[in-house]
Amino acid sequence: MFDFLDKYDVLGAFWTTVQLTLLSAVGSLIWGTLLAGMRVGPVPLMRGFATAYVNIVRNIPLTVIILFASLGLKDTLGVTLGSDQVDTQSFRLAVLGLIVYTSAFVCEAIRAGINTVPVGQAEAARAIGLNFTQVLGLIVLPQAFRAAVLPLTNVLIALTKNTTVAAAIGVAEAAVLMKTMLENEAQLLAISAVIAFGFCCLTLPTGLLLGRVSKKVAVKR
Amino acid sequence: MSSVLYDAQGPRAKRRNVLYTAAFLVVLAAVVWWVYKSLDDKGQLEWALWKPYLSGTEAYSTYIWPGLQNTLKAAALAMIIALPLGAVLGISRLSDHAWVRVPATAVVEFFRAIPVLVLMIFGMELYSQYTDVSSDDRPLYAVVTGLVLYNASVLAEIVRAGILALPKGQNEAALAIGLRKGQVMRLILLPQAVTTMLPAIVSQLVVIVKDTAIGGAILTFPELLSSASTMSSYYGANTIASFTVVAVIFVAINFSLTSFASWLEGRLRRRKKSTGAVIGVQDAAAIAGTAATGAER
């Protein structure tokens, strides 16, 4: 029943999915943390910028962002992200799109984490003379990150599933492979089962594992 | 204003903030200038490319409105089918009988773990191989199928969370006056849970509206996003303008839904009448495992 698998590079396709996920995860963690820092900071302009960014980006469908990266940035404006190969270009543009989209949610997750830190912590930190950067970097963010593990896990799981949208610009990941296999083989259930199993292997353990981590690292109050 | 992170500012902090503001303004201006310059260099700011959207209604009546109608139709259908299905699944997960509870749990966890696109592709192939749905209707069917399978399981979790959030006394008192289990659920628990779940359900609508665009890009479902590509080929390669207009419409719809959900949540939290805890927008996002939306808190 599953002998069609020999003809296709299933592991390769899922490896692309994993690569998309990891690269975008790192990128959006960095950009999202910066945004969160701006969003809770004392400078009104930065706060306004971050708020506007989050509210606009999270309400645009990811598909629109990724298609725009390909049709708008690459085809119209000639942004190639330092590569002249079409495959690499699409991959990098997809990562860029995923970062732009996901960092809005990372920002919200971290801000939710910051909100769990009791005001007294920051007041005590200010009382011993730390400035905003020190309060944020030494006292609040470390506690906030530990509280934000669970929301960030949800973002990561969503990101894993969202990488399939890169299929819209032809990045050869799992959803594209599923489409190709369905076109060539008359085995709807077997093929769907394989792809579904692959995604279950990626998302379910992530949730379980990081769920445990979040319980372990959470600051007991 | 008071915050966890900073005090009311003194003269030095104020001066520093002015400095930061200026520096940030410079960076922002540089980015805006770079965007403007690259758009201008490629001739993307010419009036002809933006004219269809800024003067005249032809673009709206021919391309955008039909696309938007399809988007809203798919989202509405998905919501209407997924809600009762989700309610049944959610209640089944709370059943006393393992043979009901375990399969329901398996179904919910399975469909939450799989990307909507995969479910949509599955639906597309299912309809073309095993049914005689015409090829014109197939994308709509597939999109709705994918959205229903995924969102029913998310809604099931929301329903379950809503019922579990009610105080235990509600259940016990209902049983004590002699209601049967079905009656307790139907007459006592569900009606109370429904109000507390409303914000989460509204915020899930945003996810559905956004996900219809996947069908437009990959399954040739003629929704709002796919009208952007049709438009840009008709109006002379105005990709940037078309995408901007489409994005603005999506933001307008979803932002109003998000704001409504947050408003509803705040209102329900303030109201003392309801018994259970409110299942809010953040909870919905956590349950969906889709970083769905985030409420202002």
Mean pLDDT across B17-45: 90
Q: What is the per-residue pLDDT for B276?
A: 67
Residue A195 with chain B: CB contacts under 8 Å: 118
Query: CB contact, 8 Å: B216 with chain A?
Result: yes
Decide if A2 is inside a domain.
Answer: no
Instruction: Judge whether A175 is closer than 8 Å to chain B, CB to CB.
Output: yes
Task: Measure CB to CB from residue B291 to each of A117, A158, A163 and give the nearest one.
Answer: A158
Supply the pLDDT for residue B283: 75
Residues of B with CB below 8 A from A115's CB?
Answer: 4, 297
Q: What is the tally of structural domains in chain A? A: 1
Residue A126 · residue B4 · CB < 8 Å: no
The pairs formed by B58-64 with CB atoms below 8 angstroms and a separation of 24 or more are B59/B231, B59/B235, B59/B245, B63/B227, B63/B230, B63/B231, B63/B234, B64/B224, B64/B227, B64/B231, B64/B245, B64/B246, B64/B249
Could you tell me which residues come within 8 angstroms of residue A152 by beta carbon, excluding any fewer than 6 positions away?
A: A29, A106, A109, A110, A210
Mean pLDDT of B189-196: 88
- For residue A147, what are the contacts with CB-CB under 8 A and spacing of at least 6? A112, A113, A116, A117, A218, A219
Q: Give me the pLDDT at residue B220, please.
A: 87
Is ipTM beyond 0.95?
Answer: no
Q: Does A109 touch chain B (CB under 8 A)?
A: yes
Contact criterion met (CB < 8 Å) for A67 and B243? yes
Give the B window 157-196 contacts with A, CB below 8 Å.
none
Contact between chains at B239 and A71 (C-beta distance less than 8 A): yes
CA distance A122 to chain B (A): 6
Asked if B104 and B95 count as a contact pair (C-beta separation under 8 A), the reply is yes
- pLDDT (mean) for B187-215: 91
Among A126, A154, A182, beta carbon nearest to B285: A154
* Rounded mean pLDDT, A91-118: 92
pLDDT at position B293, please? 39
Contact A152, A106 (CB under 8 A): yes
pLDDT band at B291 (very low <50, low <70, confident <90, very high): very low
Contact between B291 and A135 using a beta-carbon 8 Å cutoff:
no
Q: What was the pLDDT predicted at A115?
A: 84
- Is residue A40 within 8 angstroms of chain B, CB to CB? yes
Mean predicted confidence (pLDDT) in B23-31: 94
pLDDT tens-digit series, residues B205-258: 999 999 999 998 888 899 999 888 888 888 877 888 889 999 999 999 999 999
If residue B260 lies in a helix (H) or strand (E), which one and from where to where?
A: helix B239-270
In the structure, how many helices (H) and strands (E) does chain A have? 10, 0
CA-based torsion, A187, B127, A161, A211: positive or negative:
negative
> What's residue B4's pLDDT?
64
**Mutation for testing the B interface, residue in A60, A141, A173, A184 having most B CBs under 10 Å:** A60
Query: Residue B8: pLDDT above 90?
Result: no
What band does B274 get if pLDDT is binned at 50, 70 and 90? Answer: low
Q: What is the mean pLDDT of residues A147-169?
A: 91
Domain edges within chain B: 47-265
Residues A51-85 have pLDDT tens digits of 999 999 999 999 999 999 998 888 888 887 877 88
Query: Hey, is the C-beta of A115 within 8 angstroms of any chain B C-beta?
Result: yes
| Pairwise CA distance, residues A102 & A22, whole Å | 12
Residues B241 and B49: their CA atoms lie apart, in Å, by 7
Range picked from A15-29, B4-18, B165-179, B212-226 for highest mean pLDDT: A15-29
- Residue B213 is classified by DSSP as H
Interface test with B, best of A130, A143, A164 (most B CBs within 10 A): A164
Across residues B10-23, what is the average pLDDT? 88
Q: What's the domain range around A26?
A: 9-217
Q: Is the pLDDT of residue B296 over 60?
A: no
CATH number for the domain spanning A193: value is: 1.10.3720.10
**Residue A22 has what pLDDT?**
96
For the ranges A117-121, B119-123, B136-140, which has the lowest average pLDDT? A117-121
What architecture (CATH level 2) is domain B47-265? Orthogonal Bundle (1.10)
Res B71: pLDDT: 94
Q: Quick check: B243 and A109 CB within 8 A?
A: no
**Contact criterion met (CB < 8 Å) for A167 and B237:** no
Position B292 scores a pLDDT of 39
